[in-house]
Structure 1
């Protein structure tokens, strides 16, 4: 049986470890020790130089005795801030919260705990399963730094489940967006605003002109754009010499995102040129859109695994990224599955132990699923 008492203990132990993004060292060491105890040795990669973390990604393979394609289960070690000194507070109704001054870290320690419990259960009960691969990444909250640096030549699975989604158990995201961040720095010319403003070139005015022409918010059905930061100028009596504008574009359609980015770039360029200012443009493709076919193995197997739990799979598109965006770029067909993390990225974050147990059962169902299960 999946053990709820053990889930509570493991979750509390992991939540008590500080693991903000790029400071995952202590959690990585704890996970290596915990998994080694149950006969699952992790290898830690040497990606620290690429990611800036003090730990590498953890990867393990558990040989299977069942026919059927390998399966990859993934989660991440890092939590968003405020994350220092967090601890799990247990309530009588099975809910777990932080003490209200930090995040809880259910995103993604609920996922890590569910994978641990599922694997431990399979090993202890000697249940035959297919080849299982586990990847627990660093720096996921920083646009999947760890997953981007990982070497996928060692992964055999073409089917993945990323335990990193809010919502009712049974939910799964099968599509996620391209996410691009950009910055436009307009360089004008300073002059005294009272005595000879005509000698200056007002960078803020040029930026405002560009912003006024650009679409924001929902730009079509599957695309959003946002200008989130603007800074510039050095005094109210000085024509502003430079102005920096920062924003992001998201789209479930990668080509649409790139087209809109080009529109943004061109509009800032024209606005700068029209007042004889110059533009320095920066852009970064953080994650690439994907859509996992609902007719493929990942979706079909998930539907069966969830049904065994008496639940119904609910497939949805999400506007947030995850390590699954990176997996898709490496030919791995994956879903991001609901993992009992609620009100994430806030101090009101909570999880429920019975739900983590449900997720652990779904994970073990996925591991023992035979290829022909969907024909039965």
Structure 2
């Protein structure tokens, strides 16, 4: 049933549209037009006010399309986020063998435009062929890449209160993600004392030195990068460093930000504590000639919480059957990352995540494997068909 030529046209069109986090307006316009062309009515499609509730820096809300069902069955949801990382600005998609790649020195944006294109293809296939389907919500969240913000802000009432969800945001289409990590963002604001670095450096307290000592101690504790300990595992990263104004001034202020992740809430708290303690200890140990020391202002924000679905969950069962019917062996897995599905599951909407053939995301080498993308389009059609049955 899938028109492969049209499926590829949707993919290439959406990959070519610039839409970094917070600036998804052009993507919304393009997907909306494709949905209308596919046969959706205008009244089925809207954007919510997620951008207004998120605040400054967000231009448009989540895109939502609600299809009436042709059969009496529970509503289901398909979702794929619209935003891409900054590396994908100016991407020019080209077909190279069995892959779609970026022509220049950019990322491609297959994460997650391949998911968006697969949903558009599903909508077009259902409506153009007048196929039986349950009520379906198509959700295209904003602002996934910098903290899953769009899915966090979406209201289930705007979605028509679906019974289960199928999120598209991954690599291999036979992989069914049934669990993912918790993540927090931390900020360490370091305050030292500014003095002339040539005339009286001994009277200053370097915020940069405090930062370096703290991060060195964290690494020595085995809490940087991939973390594997007897009582748990996780990951942690230093993302940004901002500080200093001049080379001849002892740095009196430095701000570091980063993240910590784990599948275990208790172990995540242990990682966070190592970071907090390391910064506070480093600040207390860097002193000037008067015995004064630096200060730390530490803060942590939870991005999303871990989840793990049972394999008996209906969305897991339907996704697994759809993959098998399409010709591959389903592979349920727990992912070491965060997904919009984290927020959906936390809010009570059981949601699995499926891949759409995108690989090496957030890299210049990113590509979409064409056969995998087309396979995922078939899987979505199978899910819609299976969900239409009593």
Tell me the TM-score normalized by structure 2. 0.86
- Where does structure 1 lack aligned partners over 5 or more consecutive residues? none
Q: CA deviation at 1:317?
A: 1.9
Q: CA deviation at 1:254?
A: 2.6
Match of 2:16 in 1: 16
Which digits, 9 at most, give the CA deviation of each residue in 1:236-283, with x for residues without a partner?
Answer: 665442333332211112332233223322332243245432212232
2:326 is paired with a residue of what secondary structure?
Answer: coil
Residues 62 and 139, structure 2, Cα contact 8 Å, conserved in 1: yes
Higher mean alpha-carbon deviation, 50-59 vs 319-328, is at 50-59
Q: CA deviation at 1:334?
A: 1.2
CA 1:21–1:233 in structure 2 vs 1: closer, same or farther (change >3 Å)?
A: closer
Q: CA deviation at 1:310?
A: 1.3
Residues 66 and 368, structure 1, Cα contact 8 Å, conserved in 2: no
Residues 82 and 141, structure 2, Cα contact 8 Å, conserved in 1: yes
Match of 1:261 in 2: 272
Looking at structure 2, the residues matched to 175 and 14 of structure 1 have their Cα atoms a distance apart, in angstroms, of 28
Residues 167 and 340, structure 2, Cα contact 8 Å, conserved in 1: yes
- 1:304 maps onto 2:304 in alignment: no
Residues 76 and 136, structure 1, Cα contact 8 Å, conserved in 2: yes
Looking at structure 2, the residues matched to 35 and 256 of structure 1 have their Cα atoms a distance apart, in angstroms, of 44
Match of 1:2 in 2: 2
Higher mean alpha-carbon deviation, 267-276 vs 310-319, is at 267-276
CA 1:235–1:81 in structure 2 vs 1: closer, same or farther (change >3 Å)?
A: closer
Looking at structure 1, the residues matched to 34 and 198 of structure 2 have their Cα atoms a distance apart, in angstroms, of 69
**77, 80, 85: which one pairs with 1:72?**
77
For the aligned residue pairs, the C-alpha RMSD in angstroms reads 2.5
1:140 is paired with a residue of what secondary structure?
Answer: coil
- Where does structure 2 lack aligned partners over 5 or more consecutive residues? 288-292
Match of 1:366 in 2: 383
Residues 68 and 371, structure 1, Cα contact 8 Å, conserved in 2: yes
Looking at structure 2, the residues matched to 20 and 13 of structure 1 have their Cα atoms a distance apart, in angstroms, of 16
Residues 18 and 90, structure 2, Cα contact 8 Å, conserved in 1: yes
Residues 72 and 160, structure 1, Cα contact 8 Å, conserved in 2: yes
Match of 2:113 in 1: 109
CA 1:227–1:23 in structure 2 vs 1: closer, same or farther (change >3 Å)?
A: closer
Alignment length (residue pairs) = 371
CA 1:103–1:212 in structure 2 vs 1: closer, same or farther (change >3 Å)?
A: closer
CA 1:35–1:257 in structure 2 vs 1: closer, same or farther (change >3 Å)?
A: same
**29, 41, 45: which one pairs with 1:42?**
45
Match of 1:100 in 2: 104
Match of 1:134 in 2: 138
Q: CA deviation at 1:207?
A: 3.3
1:226 is paired with a residue of what secondary structure?
Answer: strand
Tell me the TM-score normalized by structure 1. 0.89
Looking at structure 2, the residues matched to 217 and 159 of structure 1 have their Cα atoms a distance apart, in angstroms, of 34
Task: Summarize the alignment of residues 200-349 of structure 1 with structure 2, pairs less than 5 Å apart.
Answer: 200-214=204-218, 215-219=223-227, 220=229, 221-230=232-241, 232-233=243-244, 238-274=249-285, 275=287, 276-349=293-366
Higher mean alpha-carbon deviation, 150-159 vs 309-318, is at 150-159
Looking at structure 1, the residues matched to 174 and 262 of structure 2 have their Cα atoms a distance apart, in angstroms, of 25
Looking at structure 2, the residues matched to 26 and 229 of structure 1 have their Cα atoms a distance apart, in angstroms, of 29
Looking at structure 1, the residues matched to 105 and 208 of structure 2 have their Cα atoms a distance apart, in angstroms, of 38
1:54 is paired with a residue of what secondary structure?
Answer: coil
Residues 39 and 128, structure 2, Cα contact 8 Å, conserved in 1: no
